[in-house]
Amino acid sequence: MIDLHTHTLYSDGELLPTELWRRAQVLGYRFLGVTDHVDASNFEMVFARLKAAADSLNTGEPPYFIPGLEFTHLPPALIGPLTARARALGVPLIVIHGETLAEPVAPGTNRAALEADIDILAHPGLITLEEAALAREKDIFLEISARKGHCLANGHVARIALEVGASLIVDTDSHAPGDLISRQHAERIAQGAGLTKAEVQSLFTNAESLARRLAGI
């Protein structure tokens, strides 16, 4: 399993990074991205803590821990500048909290995120063809979400991404132990969003390429 969108108690998750990592290990995870919610007030502190966890855990046993950030509910004009600051800090994985149907995310967030230097646009809701085409051009992954509420637009996201050739990824957006899932469950979620079995396999191949690039391996 490859999951590049999870949370710890450094934002609104329930677990320490080490416990999240261990629970993912038991489920057969090979790559675990930990992307706590941040804004301008806390992104440096949160990344320092997640990087320390990664340094202690990445000793050869899977899953490979990738420290990251999820910029959340930012005014769109702040997305570009803050992601640039995060990159300068050395953050390898940047996720933007997209225009989910479940929360009042500011209009224009998807577009601003796709114009910035990010890796994944999480649960992008009713993303447009133009935005998905920009994701393809920028090599930014669009998320199919396993999380309640955020999954409401999965079918739309998958259809639009396939139409323009944008890359997709299945993430859990885990906040609690029971949110982590198996690879088989993730494949079923992708199929439920309308992907064929062949498209699901391609999705995971692309996700592994992304994870390896982020991990530097």
For 160-181, how does the pLDDT look when each residue is reduced to its tens digit (9 = 90+)?
999 999 999 999 999 999 999 9
8 A C-beta contact, residue 97 and residue 73? yes
pLDDT tens, residue by residue, 116-172:
999 999 999 999 999 999 999 999 999 999 999 999 999 999 999 999 999 999 999
**What integer pLDDT is reported at residue 215 of this predicted model?**
96
Which tokens in the block code for residue 106? Answer: 């500011």
| SS3 state of residue 182 | coil
Separation between Cα atoms, residue 169 and residue 202, nearest integer Å: 10
Nearest to 170 by CA among 133, 203, 138: 203
Residue that is written with structure tokens 């416990």 in the block:
19
Rg of the Cα trace of the chain? 16
Give DSSP secondary structure letters for 101-145. TTS-PPTTHHHHHHTSS-SEEES--S--HHHHHHHHHHTPEEEEE
Question: Which architecture does CATH list for 2-215?
Answer: Alpha-Beta Barrel (3.20)
Backbone angles phi, psi at 8, to 5 degrees: -120, -175
Mean pLDDT across the chain? 98
- Under the banding of pLDDT at 50, 70 and 90, the label for residue 14 is very high
pLDDT tens, residue by residue, 15-41:
999 999 999 999 999 999 999 999 999
Q: What's this model's pTM, rounded to 2 decimal places?
A: 0.98
Mean pLDDT, residues 39-47 taken together = 98
> Beta strand 120-122 with 141-145: parallel, antiparallel or unpaired?
parallel
Letter for the amino acid at 129?
Answer: L
Q: Where are the domains of the chain?
A: 2-215
Which tokens in the block code for residue 216? Answer: 């530097």
Separation between Cα atoms, residue 87 and residue 171, nearest integer Å: 22
Give strand pairing partners of 36: 69
Letter for the amino acid at 104?
Answer: P
